Structure 1
Amino acid sequence: MAEENQFFRPVRDFCQRQVMTCSAGDSLVSAVAVMRERNISSMVVLGGDMPEGIFTDRDLRNKVVAPGRSPVELTVGDVMHSPLATIGEDDMLYEALYRMSRLKIHRLVVVDEQGALAGIITDTDILRLQAHSPHQLVLDIEKAASVEDLRALHIRIQNLVLHLSGTGVPIRDMVKLIAHLNDQVLIRLIALLRAERHAGLTDDFAFVVMGSEGRGEQTLTTDQDNAIIYADDLPAADVARLEAFSHDLIGALISIGVPACKGGIMARNPEWRRSLSGWKTELNRWLTTPKPENVMTGSMFMDLRALYGRDDLVRSLREHAFTMLSTDQGFLMRMAQNMTNFRPPLGWFGKIKLEKNGPHRGKLDIKKAGIFAITDGVKALAMEARRLEGSTHDRIEMLVETQVMNPQDARNLIASFDFLVATRLRGQVDALRAGAEPSNYVALESLNTMQQGELRLALEQVARFQDFIKHHFRLHLLRN
């Protein structure tokens, strides 16, 4: 197996199963004695059979030795780190890497499906894998010292995707990896800009990403869809600093190689940089006046995810939207109607209809053909359920749990979605290898006979999902 593919194997294949444990009530001195005897740097703290904290030699240094506390009088619970950072044993290794990087920690406790202790994994375990890997990319991103460094790393991310394409990595994992790496670049860029030019910048804001980036479903053509939400009580001087910061940030992103949004959906533009109450007012306008442009913008906005800063501002805004939608389903019905307007391009006897004119003549826009209908239809159902976390996959699984969709229909929809996204990514990879600009268009002749058959089946599944959406939201009651 290629070294990069190791990162798409489950954590269970790499974690250490033998884990030393203790209880919160154990004396600190006895726990440290065990650590010294076993030559280990941490112990997992159990409450019954469930992990509830972790105690490390760093905790001993920072919480006992440095402040001059007497260890004889302390228990493990007095100094352990809680709540605990965990990862499921069936999660992919790259997810463990990403979580450690985001939390700036060196180990994760591994748990089973019931949340019980299953093992532990450390950054040292991951470093045993070879250097040319997603892990090395993350480390290099964290060490990037300039915008120029990040530009080179952005190219390396594309090259990694080119290398992994066609190696059997599941598309769900591929797009999550792309999103994770792009997240890391943006987070590092913000840190560099704050350190170099914006040291006095307030912390009372959130930089949010939306659309496919908000869902963590990026491929190789994603442009910018971002915004800033700031606290209502922010002084005018801090608001002005945020404005200057937003211009530097978006400019730097463009210079790195992340294209500007053609529709101007970027934090440097005033309409995408508002206070919390300002955003609530704007949401009210979109949700109560579901004109086509408001439906498209509002739908994209509801994928918002706090990439940096105060996540509570995002939660407050989302809860405000849920409250609005619970009293009037007009917006959701129009959103559902809009996705049903993107009918799969299937003609008589299942023949796929292609572009007749223009630069993409003879090709299929696979996003309009099916991807958009699935993501927006699933999103409308998730908004109604007040559960917008995660990706389209995550939302479909939630809809099964809440009995909005039956399991078989959900499996069929996921399979169709994965095939369509994988086909789009494959087309983009082929374009890059040919020195062309990647897009959402796919040439039908680039697919073999079996793939063309799968494409027809996927588009037929999209049409069935649209019929389900029409029935669920009772679109026959809408007046055009």
Structure 2
Amino acid sequence: MPLSTVLAQFLASVHPYDTLSDGDLSGLAQVCTSVELAEGETVFDVGDAIAHLDIIVSGEVEIEDETHVQLSLLGPRNSFGERALLRGGPSQRKAVATQPTHLIRVPADVFHALIAAHPKVARFFDRRRPARVDAKDLTVLPVDQLMSRGPVTCTPDTPIRTAAQLMAQRHISSICVTAPDGFRGIVTVRDMNGKVVATGADSSAPVAQIMTPDPLTLPPHALGMDVLHMMMERSIGHVPIVEDGRLLGIVTQTDLTRFQAMSSADMVRRVAEARDAQAMARVTAEIPALLAQLVGTGTRHEVITRLITDIADTVTRCLLALAEDALGAPPVRYLWLACGSQGRREQTGVSDQDNCLILSDDVTDAHMPYFADLAKMVCDGLNTCGYVYCPGDMMATTPRWCQPLSVWRGYFEGWIAKPNPEAQMLASVMFDLRPIGGEASLFDDLQAETLAKAARNSIFTAHMVANSLKHAPPLGLLRGLATIRSGEHRNMLDLKHNGVVPIVDLGRVYALQGQLTEVNTRARIEAAQRTGGLSATGGADLLEAYDLIATMRLEHQAGQVKAGAAPDNYLSPATLSDFERSHLRDAFVVVKTMQSAVGAGKGALG
């Protein structure tokens, strides 16, 4: 069998080349070469010009950065070298065969021609963020992002009375009728009124007698506008979503109204109008649905988390106002600050509370009970609204975190002067402080002084760098990803602690080294690029990695919300396609590369 045929057969089993036509695949195989490497042979080194893309047929290739830190160990069907080809310039990595290895080599000009001619191949290697979609645009929104999943159903022989009772109990305006062979029909409140109540029909008769059989339906790939047009044209208020005879969900007029009305601005308004924490909680309970909607319409991750955090900020300020109404005017100036994900404006569907109080130095012991009561009212209210108490007591209700400005200044000076493990942990948290309510000027000088002192203390900076490397990206041998080995989340990836957190830590280090006042992670990386603390290419790579990991985390949470589950940060790699898994691995490799650069004192790695 000709070599080109053998290569074509192998490439046909590897994504994205499996998307090519037989003719294109054959043409590609004819211009590729087959390369055999001995154990220990170097494919390319740091600084080498890259003239080809390599695809592993058998064997194993280790990828190292310039400090000889292993980034990944690649096996069959993985490719490498594309980053240097796409960005131009010399390689920043070293590739070595760790055992006898067979490669398929794609020349650089062929690779570039391939991605230019084939959008699916280009998309596989393109790590840029997708364009944003208007979150309210029903013309482009798929129905499966809009429908209510798991609609209430009954069988055709269910008594009419039972179906009516079920609708009343669930506060719904329709019930779908299904049988083992699939979807049969629908019964609405209008049917109950017109066919039962108005005519005096027997309520013990089977619901099949009053249902609308074989009603108008739409498939899940239809658009929201299709639903709206069908409802307007046919004067119906319920559209079942059916595929291959199987009921997947339903869209009602209420769903459309809720979708078009739901926005972070509307939720902020309703929180501001709420009279107590319970009323606010009814609004914040909608945050998971808002997250799922925003993810489904392609909104960028940093916009989603900013909008969700804005709601938390409003809740906090309204709780502060309620506390002041109950306790009276504060005896001295104070400032409520958030840290953690709220401080960075990076809240998702899973958030606890992290906060503290800075008090004016005019405060006396007699004033402290007022602020203890204020802190308790606000923290209790946040917990009621779903922002659960911090497991580590990093809250204003803890006396240590409700102190005068001079004490806070002493805290930071002590942490910088003696960076023991506790100091590193606390400093990492407190470097993410952001004023929420009260007198913001209490923080201005403290932030500037602390950044200046921290940047000048090389020992403290070194400890903070070391602390930032404790969360490692989950790179391993199995398809390049290392999962949790035991416990409840065995065989899963922790997209928070091993995905987003390592980048958050890097962003904090860049802010410390450059005395940057930005708190948001993406803003810190961009500021580090602008000020020279991070090279343009290094920053671009890290931003791409961050975007991909953070987006995948939100997509995972949105999927759980749609399935009726509580969102978390644990993702099974088995649920990912080869495309997603490859890109996620590449993103983790970038993060590890940047960690290695920071650890080696090369923060401006290009």
TM-score (norm 1): 0.69
Residue 164 of structure 1 and its aligned partner are, at CA, apart by 2.0
Residue 130 of structure 1 and its aligned partner are, at CA, apart by 5.8
Q: Which deviates more from structure 2 when the two are superposed, residues 339-348 or residues 140-149? A: 339-348
Could you list the per-position Cα deviations for residues 209-265 of structure 1 after superposition, in whole angstroms to 9, with x for gaps in the alignment? 002211111111111110000011123333221111111111111112111110010
Look up the equivalent residue of 2:549 and give its one-letter code. L
Partners of 1:417 and 1:270 in 2: how far apart? 36
Number of the residue aligned with 2:513: 384
Partners of 1:143 and 1:349 in 2: how far apart? 52
Partners of 2:439 and 2:137 in 1: how far apart? 34
**Is the Cα–Cα contact under 8 Å of residues 287 and 331 in structure 1 kept in the other structure?**
yes
Partners of 1:221 and 1:354 in 2: how far apart? 21
The count of residues paired between Structure 1 and Structure 2 equals 351
Could you list the per-position Cα deviations for residues 165-188 of structure 1 after superposition, in whole angstroms to 9, with x for gaps in the alignment? 222111111111111122112112
Q: Does the alignment pair 1:341 with 2:498?
A: no
1:273 to 387, 402, 411: 402
Number of the residue aligned with 1:314: 443
Partners of 1:239 and 1:405 in 2: how far apart? 44
Aligned to 1:457, the other structure's residue is in SS state helix
**Is the Cα–Cα contact under 8 Å of residues 287 and 308 in structure 2 kept in the other structure?**
yes
Inter-CA distance 244–302: structure 2 relative to 1 (3 Å threshold):
same
1:398 to 513, 516, 527: 527
Partners of 2:285 and 2:478 in 1: how far apart? 43
**Is the Cα–Cα contact under 8 Å of residues 288 and 561 in structure 2 kept in the other structure?**
no
Higher helix share: 1
Number of the residue aligned with 1:22: none
**Is the Cα–Cα contact under 8 Å of residues 209 and 304 in structure 1 kept in the other structure?**
yes
Aligned to 1:202, the other structure's residue is in SS state coil
Number of the residue aligned with 2:291: 161
1:192 to 322, 325, 346: 322
Q: Which runs of 5+ in 2 are unaligned?
A: 1-132, 139-258
Aligned to 2:327, the other structure's residue is in SS state coil
Partners of 1:3 and 1:347 in 2: how far apart? 37
Residue 284 of structure 1 and its aligned partner are, at CA, apart by 2.1
Any residues of structure 2 matched to 1:92-131 within 5 Å, and which?
Answer: 131=261
Partners of 1:3 and 1:438 in 2: how far apart? 21
Any residues of structure 2 matched to 1:357-376 within 5 Å, and which?
Answer: 357-376=486-505
Residue 378 of structure 1 and its aligned partner are, at CA, apart by 1.6
Number of the residue aligned with 2:556: 427
**Is the Cα–Cα contact under 8 Å of residues 135 and 294 in structure 2 kept in the other structure?**
no
Partners of 2:454 and 2:344 in 1: how far apart? 20
Partners of 1:225 and 1:234 in 2: how far apart? 23
Look up the equivalent residue of 1:245 and give its one-letter code. L
1:227 to 356, 370, 389: 356
Residue 426 of structure 1 and its aligned partner are, at CA, apart by 2.1
**Is the Cα–Cα contact under 8 Å of residues 464 and 509 in structure 2 kept in the other structure?**
yes
**Is the Cα–Cα contact under 8 Å of residues 148 and 256 in structure 1 kept in the other structure?**
yes
Q: Tell me how large the CA RMSD over aligned residues is.
A: 2.1
2:600 to 440, 454, 471: 471
Number of the residue aligned with 2:300: 170
**Is the Cα–Cα contact under 8 Å of residues 223 and 258 in structure 1 kept in the other structure?**
yes
Q: Which runs of 5+ in 1 are unaligned?
A: 7-128, 475-480
Partners of 2:287 and 2:444 in 1: how far apart? 31
**Is the Cα–Cα contact under 8 Å of residues 3 and 132 in structure 1 kept in the other structure?**
no
**Is the Cα–Cα contact under 8 Å of residues 135 and 297 in structure 2 kept in the other structure?**
no
**Is the Cα–Cα contact under 8 Å of residues 333 and 359 in structure 2 kept in the other structure?**
yes
Partners of 1:271 and 1:430 in 2: how far apart? 39
Percentage of identical aligned residues: 27
Residue 347 of structure 1 and its aligned partner are, at CA, apart by 2.2
Aligned to 2:436, the other structure's residue is in SS state strand
Inter-CA distance 132–211: structure 2 relative to 1 (3 Å threshold):
closer
Number of the residue aligned with 1:242: 371
Look up the equivalent residue of 2:328 and give its one-letter code. A
2:434 to 295, 302, 305: 305
Partners of 1:136 and 1:354 in 2: how far apart? 40
Partners of 2:367 and 2:487 in 1: how far apart? 48
Residue 313 of structure 1 and its aligned partner are, at CA, apart by 1.4
1:145 to 272, 275, 283: 275
Inter-CA distance 456–406: structure 2 relative to 1 (3 Å threshold):
same
TM-score (norm 2): 0.55
Look up the equivalent residue of 1:162 and give its one-letter code. A
- Structure whose CA Rg is larger: 2
Look up the equivalent residue of 1:303 and give its one-letter code. D
Partners of 2:425 and 2:560 in 1: how far apart? 28
Partners of 1:280 and 1:315 in 2: how far apart? 12
**Is the Cα–Cα contact under 8 Å of residues 336 and 473 in structure 1 kept in the other structure?**
no
Partners of 2:522 and 2:442 in 1: how far apart? 25
